[in-house]
């Protein structure tokens, strides 16, 4: 099981990126959450099998048609609270 903290930079707020992220997380059986950061980035905690998380990150790099991802920062987490689904946090 892989646990990652991901920050996505670029044009990612106000363009449906959080909903896109949630859709991809469900598609790849990822649990965790996504939220907008005050600095214009999108912050994600993703938990899942390595192959699924890799596919999820690949999707994030491409983004949705309205976003423009310029950078992704990925850090491993030692442990996280248990998640049963993938939520959008406000």
Structure tokens at 6: 């991901």
Number of domains in the chain: 1
**Which residues span the domain enclosing 78?**
2-88
pLDDT tens column, 24-44: 999 999 999 999 999 999 999
Residue 43's CATH number = 3.30.70.100
pLDDT score, position 81? 82
Average pLDDT in the chain: 97
What distance in Å separates the CA atoms of residue 62 and residue 68, rounded to the nearest whole number?
8
What distance in Å separates the CA atoms of residue 67 and residue 57, rounded to the nearest whole number?
15
pLDDT under 50: residue ranges of the chain: none
Beta strands of the chain (E only): which ranges?
Answer: 2-11, 31-36, 42-48, 68-76, 86-88
Predicted TM-score (pTM) of the model is 0.95
The candidate with the shortest Cα–Cα distance to 35, out of 74, 76, 5, is: 5
Residues labelled catalytic: 18, 36
């Amino acid at each position: 099981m892989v646990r990652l903290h991901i920050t996505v930079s670029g044009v990612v707020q106000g363009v449906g990126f959080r909903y896109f992220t949630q859709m991809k997380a469900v598609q790849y059986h990822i649990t965790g959450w996504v939220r907008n950061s005050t600095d214009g980035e999108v912050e994600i905690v993703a938990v899942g099998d390595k192959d699924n998380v890799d596919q999820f990150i690949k999707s994030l790099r491409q983004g949705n048609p309205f976003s423009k991802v310029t950078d992704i920062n990925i850090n491993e987490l030692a442990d996280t609270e248990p998640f049963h689904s993938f939520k959008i946090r406000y």
